[in-house]
């Protein structure tokens, strides 16, 4: 009986020991599994880590899309037509910066025009002389026609007073070297219209401007002779002839003033 009790005690201790061993082994397996997982995490290769990083990148599409959009926006800002149009519009709206060299450019262009033969004489004076020459040509033409048709000049009837156009135009002094004074006046003013034209004022040759002055000096000399003939030889005055004299005197004054103030026109450019 004592031996049976001892056997049962040994069996009970063995079973208890077996249960304790199973429990310990179970805990060891769990620890082993946990340790294996940690070991796998520690022993991953760089390629596996990169693959996992790529997967993480794939899982973040919002970040990739925004980055790509930002890159495209930057490229468009550098080379895109939309950004270029916006820049042009902004430049058009912005106030133009003052060009410091604009005045110098204009002066250079004007100097180039003058050097090519443009006249320094003001436009108003050139136009005035041209119009006066046209008026003288008109009166001279009328006197020439009246001389050859022997028509009475309008508004200048024969009187016993100082004004008598017919007496003057039919006198011996109405011819110079056998040429009617009216014809000489017509030829003179044909030349004046040409030499007083805007194109002649812009001539680069000084000879043109000298010819203008010489013709007017000769014309004024002839005018003084005709005034002397009317007042002291004929004893009468022709209003039309006097108007031609006045127009010639005006041209003489304006031309001499232009020569004194601005010279005889530009010399020919050496370039």
> Exposed, middle or buried, 196 (CB in 10 Å: 0-12/13-18/19+)?
buried
Q: Are strands 179-180 and 175-176 parallel, antiparallel or unpaired?
A: antiparallel
pLDDT tens across 187-234, in order?
999 999 999 999 999 998 999 999 999 999 999 999 999 999 999 999
Residue 85 has pLDDT above 60, yes or no: no
Q: Per the CATH hierarchy, to which homologous superfamily does domain 120-262 belong?
A: VKOR domain (1.20.1440.130)
Residue extents of the structural domains in the chain: 1-36, 120-262
Angle among Cα 226, 229, 230 to the nearest 5 degrees reads: 90
pLDDT tens across 103-138, in order?
666 555 544 444 444 678 999 999 999 999 999 999
Q: Is the dihedral of CA 43, 46, 50, 53 positive or negative?
A: positive
pLDDT tens across 139-192, in order?
999 999 999 998 888 888 666 578 889 899 999 999 999 999 999 999 999 999
| Contacts for 38 with CB less than 8 Å, ≥ 6 apart | none
Q: What is the mean pLDDT of the chain?
A: 73
pLDDT tens across 60-70, in order?
444 343 444 43
């Amino acid at each position: 009986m004592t031996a049976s009790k001892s056997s049962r005690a040994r069996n009970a201790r063995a079973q208890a020991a077996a249960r304790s061993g199973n429990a310990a082994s179970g805990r060891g397996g769990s620890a082993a599994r946990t340790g294996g997982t940690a070991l796998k995490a520690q022993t991953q290769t760089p390629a596996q880590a990169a693959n996992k990083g790529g997967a993480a990148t794939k899982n973040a599409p919002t970040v990739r899309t925004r980055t790509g959009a930002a890159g495209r926006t930057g490229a468009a800002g550098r080379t895109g037509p939309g950004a270029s149009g916006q820049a042009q519009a902004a430049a058009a709206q912005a106030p133009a910066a003052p060009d410091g060299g604009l005045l110098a450019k204009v002066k250079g262009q004007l100097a180039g025009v003058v050097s090519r033969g443009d006249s320094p004489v003001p436009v108003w004076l050139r136009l005035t002389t041209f119009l006066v020459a046209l008026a003288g040509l008109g009166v001279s033409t009328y006197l020439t026609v009246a001389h050859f048709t022997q028509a009475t000049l309008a508004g200048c009837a024969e009187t016993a007073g100082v004004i008598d156009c017919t007496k003057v135009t039919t006198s011996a002094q109405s011819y110079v070297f056998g040429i009617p004074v009216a014809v000489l006046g017509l030829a003179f003013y044909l030349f004046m219209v040409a030499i007083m034209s805007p194109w002649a004022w812009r001539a680069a040759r000084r000879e043109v401007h000298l010819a203008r002055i010489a013709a007017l000096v000769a014309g004024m000399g002839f005018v003084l002779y005709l005034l002397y003939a009317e007042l002291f030889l004929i004893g009468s005055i022709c209003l039309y002839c006097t108007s031609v004299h006045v127009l010639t005197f005006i041209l003489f004054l304006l031309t001499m003033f232009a020569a004194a103030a601005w010279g005889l026109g530009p010399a020919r450019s050496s370039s």
